[in-house]
Amino acid sequence: MKFACFTLMPYRPLDMAERNKHRSAWVMLPNSLYDPQKGADEYDSYINQLVYAEKLGFDIIAVNEHHQTAYGMMPAPNLIASALIQRTTTCKIAVLGRALPLVNNPMTIAEEFAMLDTLSRGRLIAGFVRGIGTEYHAMGINPAFSHERYLEAHDMIVQAWTRPGPFEFEGEHYNNRYVNLWPRPYQTPHPPIWVPSQGSSETIRWAAAPEHKYPFLVTFAAQDLVVRYLNMYRDQAKEFGYEASGEQLGWAAPIYVAETEERARAEAKAGAESLFNDYLYNPWEMLLPPGYMSVSSMKATIKMRKALGSRPRTHTIDSLMESGTVIVGTPKTVREQIAKVRDQTGVDNLVSMLQFGVMSDELALRNMELFASEVMPHLR
């Protein structure tokens, strides 16, 4: 297996009593609750953690994009990636990813990724995402065209990377008379494209298509769903007439390791519960604006939610561990859980989130060290 160390860069000094006066930690949370001094300290901490991950032997260090939220402080993840390139030498740098439909000219994404790929001499992994529903509130982009814009932006970027320029791009949402990238990407034909997703069947089919074969990364899901989605990709590949390799499969999850089960559970508790209840939670209207999913997917999702009868913001460390949404335990039990999913799916990429929610630097660093020394080597 290959291992990525990933952080969302949550704003930990958040006043939770104040946060709870608002419907979400996204878009509507007043930015008067953000302190620039503390924000600068947070960036230092997280960048140091990712740089340290290379020394610990992680194959990849990873960042991502979210807007107007205390959940993650990276509206422009490429800026962080650029800083990471200067402070590392061998590990891959994954941006998981840029939200393509949010820009009005995808050329900027093609250009920036080409620059990062060149600056790092080919260490970039380029993630392509749509962003979660809240980004469409934050950025004023119409969610009803999110899918169309994603597909079209993808075409434009890949063509910009691979077709000799100048050429003209003629689309529905995007048009450019001259597409002619300087610089072009360092890697040939272009940096690997990864597709993180919450598991929509349309996305899985598209990523698995023979002309793409993009690694698909399941993010934050209960373990039975992780297994189901990864095997959906495998089945799709079979339908397309080929066998998916483990390198085409990825799984992103919060992980916490300590010497004993009790200690791991106690130390992961605040981080895991704050991640899911305080930082990530969004009301329906914000998480799934109309058109973000097709009408049929939306109907299915609503029915599933009703059937589950889930009450918002009631996750506990125990419920999260039980569903396998977070992996918490001793090196031995964590290894076993990961190996189990690997054996059921053949997944080869594990994107581990070793700092999450309000978890302190001290715990995060200890977690990273233990994971790197006691878990990773056994699963390689």
Partner 1 sequence: MSHLTTAHVLDVAVRQLRAGSGEKIVFLHGASGLPQWNPFFEALTQNYDVMVPEHPGFGASVAPKTLRNIADMAMYYLDYLDAHGEGGVHLIGHSLGGWIAAEIACRNSSRIKSLTLMAPAGVRVKGVSIGDNFIWSIEETIQNLVVDQALAEAMLSRVPTEEEADLLIANRFMATKLGWEPRWLNPALENWLHRIKLPTQIIWGDTDRLFPAAYGERWRMLIANSKLTILERCGHLPHVEYPLVTAQTIISFLNGAAK
Burial classification of residue 210, based on how many CB atoms lie within 10 Å of its CB (0-12 exposed, 13-18 middle, 19 or more buried): exposed
142 belongs to the binding site for partner 1 (CB under 8 A): yes
138 belongs to the binding site for partner 1 (CB under 8 A): no
Q: Which residues 81-100 are close enough to bind partner 1 by CB under 8 A?
A: none
290 belongs to the binding site for partner 1 (CB under 8 A): yes
Q: Which is nearer to partner 1, 250 or 289 (CB)?
A: 289
Write the DSSP assignment of 96-144 as a string of letters.
EEEEGGG-S-THHHHHHHHHHHHHTTS-EEEEEE---THHHHHH---GG
Q: Closest separation between CB of residue 162 and partner 1, Å? A: 28
Q: Closest separation between CB of residue 295 and partner 1, Å? A: 5
**Using the rule CB under 8 A, which residue among 131, 143, 191, 254 binds partner 1?**
143
Q: Closest separation between CB of residue 219 and partner 1, Å? A: 24
> Cβ atoms within 10 A of the Cβ of 56, count?
18
Applying CB under 8 A, the span of 111-119, 221-229, 240-248, 287-295 interacting with partner 1 comes to 287-295
Q: Closest separation between CB of residue 179 and partner 1, Å? A: 24
Q: Are 99 and 129 in contact (CB under 8 A)?
A: yes
Q: Which is nearer to partner 1, 25 or 115 (CB)?
A: 25
DSSP 274: I
140 belongs to the binding site for partner 1 (CB under 8 A): yes
Helix or strand run (H / E) with residue 229: helix 223-239
147 belongs to the binding site for partner 1 (CB under 8 A): no
Structure tokens at 88: 């590392």
Q: Closest separation between CB of residue 6 and partner 1, Å? A: 29
Beta strand 167-170 with 327-329 is unpaired
Q: Which is nearer to partner 1, 143 or 254 (CB)?
A: 143
Residue 29 CA to residue 253 CA, distance in Å, equals 26
Q: Give the 3-state secondary structure percentages of the chain, helix then strand then coil, rounded to 5.
A: 50, 15, 35
Q: Which residues bind partner 1 (CB under 8 A)?
A: 27-28, 136-137, 140-145, 283-286, 289-291, 295, 298-299, 302
